[in-house]
Structure 1
Amino acid sequence: METRKVQLSGGTTFTVSLPKTWATEHGISSGSVLYLHPDDDGTLLVEAGTERSDDDRTVRLDVTGYRTAMVRQAVTSMYLVGIDKLVIVDRNGHDDARLEAALDLCAELSGLELMETSDRTLVFQNIVDPSSISIRKTVLRMKLVVLSMHRDAVRAVTDGDVALASRVVARDNEVDKLFCLVSRQFQRALDDLQTVDALDTTRSALFEYFHTARQFERIGDHATKMAGLVVEHDSDLTDVSLDEFTRLANTSRRIVERAADVVLSDVDVTTAFDILSDVAELEAAADDLDKQLYQHENATAAFAFGLLLDSVRRTASYGRNIAEMGIQQAIRREETEMVAPRDG
């Protein structure tokens, strides 16, 4: 680390000299343009170079010999790291399966369009301007979707409703699509400070949103898992008592909802401390219920019920992760007087 003294120039302008070695390494000389990024935490980031052009975010990838699944993964990875234009070339030509996979990707990834197709070339373009997307609103949308999925999954379990369970499974793609959008914006912001400016937020806030979205994505996976168990083991689940499961599952969902409010809606941080105790209580109750399965006569039903309980535990655990982020958020922002957690 180097230190510099602030100088007053012309009676009105503050100036600071740049480290000579750093300036030389980045080709900075008299007349060079630097980009300054002030942050709420008191830091001022200095970025050398010019604004990025479209060519800076264009990748050409030769996928000759790649299986279709590998191409899907490559396109998804490029999307997530913030590439705007991706040219996929196969010297042997793209088959129908490859083209179908490309169209599926455009449906699964927000803003991705297939702009050009030929025998050997596929051109993907992201058409969404980062500044037009509110990350906070996207995460709030994820919250609504996963809580709805979880509520329906629990009802499908208790009612044995296979049709409702199937609808829950189908909604998992919606959660994944939203999470990919948040991940893309977060990853791009790590690489490009100008993206942070365009999003009109801070790096710490972006991390909070990304972390919370990651928990929502996992909660959505467990709602899908519970719904899938209804589809696969509907008849077996009628052989176990579901009352306590329903109570614990509903409690886990309320934990997630309250934790999300701390991070996304500025609810008092004492709620986050309460959640930590609530999760511990739920886990103890789930363990007790799990032990009762050891003596169950129907091993298949006990196995399926154990998987349901695992999803309940994990859902509450992800809620705890969000609550812990809320506590960290309060510390960083110094907006809330820290209060000791309650006993128990």
Structure 2
Amino acid sequence: METRKVQLSGGTTYTISLPKQWATEQGISPGSTLYLHPDADGTLLIEAGTHQDREDRQVRMDVSSYDTDMLAQAVEAMYLVGIDELVLVDRNGYDDDHFETAMDLCADLSGLQLMETSEKKLVFQNIIDSSSISIRKSTLRMKLIVLAMHRDAVEAVVNNDTALAARITTRDSEVDKLFCLVTRQFERAIDDLQTVEALGTTRHELFEYYHTARQFERVADHATKMASLAMEHGGSFADETTDEFARVADESRRIVERAADIVLSDVNVTTAFDILSDASALDDEVNEIDKRLYERADADAAFTFGLLLDSVRRTAAYGRNIAEMGIQQCVKQKECEEIGLRQR
């Protein structure tokens, strides 16, 4: 770290000198334009004009040896890190499977369009500008979908509703699509200050939304897992057991919902401490139910039902992760002095 003393120039303007090594590395000379980004945390970030004026991020890849799975992984990876244009060249020529994979990717990744196709070249472009995206609304939509998926998954298990369970598995892709959009903006914002400004958020808020969305995506995965178990083993669970499952599963979902409100609805962070306590109590209760299973059910049934309980346990843990992040962010922002942060 280097320090500078602020000078007063012309009686009204504050000035400081720039570190010479940094200025040289950035190609700065008299008359160069710099871009200043004041942040809510009191920092002032300086960006060289060469970064401001750079062309949209473009990548050209030779995918001649890629199968369809590798092609999909490459495109998704480039999308997530914020590439705006991706040119994929296959010297051997694309077949129908590759074209079908390309179209599926455009359906699964928000803003991605296949702009050009030829026998040996595919050109993808991102058509959504960061200024048109609300990360908060995207995360909030994830919350609504995920909680509905989880609620329906529990109902499918309890009522042996395989049709409902089947519908749940198809909604996981919508959650994945939203999470990819949030991840893309988060990754771009790490090294592109203009993305943060275009999104109309702070870096701290962006991290909160990304972290929360990550937990939602995991909850959705476990809702899908429970739905799959309902389809595979529906009707094989005792009523008494499913009643216990429904009770603890509903509580795990409430933990996630309450934790999410800390980030998305500005609920007082003191709620986070109650969530941590409730999540720990639920974990103990689920462990006790799991132990009792082997006393009154055959081993196979107990194992299968144990998988459901594991999803309940993990769902509550994801809610706890959100609550813990809320407390950590509060500490960083020095707000906890006002609420009497206690040792835990």
- Superposed pair shares fold, TM > 0.5: yes
Following the alignment from structure 2 to structure 1, what is the Cα–Cα distance between the partners of residues 280 and 63?
Answer: 49
Aligned sequence identity (%): 68
Q: Tell me if structure 1 keeps the 8 A contact 2:6–2:16.
A: yes
Q: Give CA-to-partner distance per residue, 1:147-166, whole Å, 9 cap, x none.
A: 00000000101101000011
Query: SS of 2:312's equivalent?
Result: helix
Q: Give CA-to-partner distance per residue, 1:2-38, whole Å, 9 cap, x none.
A: 1101111111111111111211122111001111111
Higher mean C-alpha deviation, range 261-270 or range 71-80: 261-270
Query: SS of 1:91's equivalent?
Result: coil
Are 1:113 and 2:113 matched, yes or no? yes
Aligned to 1:315: 315
Aligned to 2:204: 204
Query: SS of 2:86's equivalent?
Result: strand
Aligned to 1:92: 92
Following the alignment from structure 2 to structure 1, what is the Cα–Cα distance between the partners of residues 52 and 39?
Answer: 21
1:149 maps to a residue whose letter is: M
Q: Tell me if structure 2 keeps the 8 A contact 1:36–1:46.
A: yes
Aligned to 1:35: 35
Query: SS of 1:237's equivalent?
Result: coil
2:105 maps to a residue whose letter is: L
Q: Give CA-to-partner distance per residue, 1:59-97, whole Å, 9 cap, x none.
A: 111100111100100000000000011111101101000
Following the alignment from structure 2 to structure 1, what is the Cα–Cα distance between the partners of residues 343 and 74?
Answer: 48
Following the alignment from structure 1 to structure 2, what is the Cα–Cα distance between the partners of residues 127 and 157?
Answer: 41
Q: Tell me if structure 1 keeps the 8 A contact 2:109–2:180.
A: yes
Map residues 25-174 of structure 1 onto 2, 5 A cutoff. 25-52=25-52, 55-174=55-174
1:31 maps to a residue whose letter is: G
Following the alignment from structure 1 to structure 2, what is the Cα–Cα distance between the partners of residues 145 and 297?
Answer: 34
Following the alignment from structure 1 to structure 2, what is the Cα–Cα distance between the partners of residues 342 and 314?
Answer: 25
Superposed displacement of residue 342, structure 1: 10
| Pair 1:240–1:40, CA change in 2 (3 A) | same
Q: Give CA-to-partner distance per residue, 1:270-321, whole Å, 9 cap, x none.
A: 1100001000110110011000122244322211110000000000000000
Superposed displacement of residue 49, structure 1: 3.1
Query: SS of 2:151's equivalent?
Result: helix
Q: Tell me if structure 2 keeps the 8 A contact 1:263–1:325.
A: no
Aligned to 1:224: 224
Aligned to 2:7: 7
Higher mean C-alpha deviation, range 296-305 or range 150-159: 296-305
Q: Give CA-to-partner distance per residue, 1:221-264, whole Å, 9 cap, x none.
A: 00000001001111322476211111100000000000000111
Q: Tell me if structure 1 keeps the 8 A contact 2:56–2:85.
A: no
Are 1:306 and 2:306 matched, yes or no? yes
Q: Tell me if structure 2 keeps the 8 A contact 1:256–1:315.
A: yes
| Pair 1:274–1:55, CA change in 2 (3 A) | same
Q: Tell me if structure 2 keeps the 8 A contact 1:135–1:209.
A: yes
Higher mean C-alpha deviation, range 291-300 or range 194-203: 291-300
Aligned to 2:186: 186
Following the alignment from structure 1 to structure 2, what is the Cα–Cα distance between the partners of residues 34 and 5?
Answer: 19
Query: SS of 1:236's equivalent?
Result: coil
Are 1:338 and 2:339 matched, yes or no? yes
Aligned to 2:328: 328
Supply the RMSD in Å over aligned alpha carbons. Answer: 1.6
Aligned residues between the structures: 343
Following the alignment from structure 2 to structure 1, what is the Cα–Cα distance between the partners of residues 102 and 64?
Answer: 15
1:59 maps to a residue whose letter is: V
Following the alignment from structure 2 to structure 1, what is the Cα–Cα distance between the partners of residues 39 and 283?
Answer: 40
Query: SS of 1:315's equivalent?
Result: helix
| Gap runs ≥5 in structure 1 | none
Q: Tell me if structure 1 keeps the 8 A contact 2:156–2:227.
A: yes
Q: Tell me if structure 2 keeps the 8 A contact 1:273–1:341.
A: no
Q: Tell me if structure 2 keeps the 8 A contact 1:274–1:342.
A: no
Q: Give CA-to-partner distance per residue, 1:98-128, whole Å, 9 cap, x none.
A: 0000000001000001111110011111100
1:300 maps to a residue whose letter is: D
Aligned to 1:248: 248
| Gap runs ≥5 in structure 2 | none
Q: Tell me if structure 1 keeps the 8 A contact 2:26–2:50.
A: no
Following the alignment from structure 2 to structure 1, what is the Cα–Cα distance between the partners of residues 56 and 268?
Answer: 43
Q: Tell me if structure 2 keeps the 8 A contact 1:54–1:84.
A: no
Aligned to 2:263: 263
Following the alignment from structure 1 to structure 2, what is the Cα–Cα distance between the partners of residues 99 and 53?
Answer: 34
Superposed displacement of residue 172, structure 1: 0.4
1:308 maps to a residue whose letter is: L
Following the alignment from structure 2 to structure 1, what is the Cα–Cα distance between the partners of residues 70 and 53?
Answer: 28
Following the alignment from structure 2 to structure 1, what is the Cα–Cα distance between the partners of residues 210 and 24?
Answer: 36
Query: SS of 1:242's equivalent?
Result: helix
TM-score scaled to structure 1, two decimals?
0.96
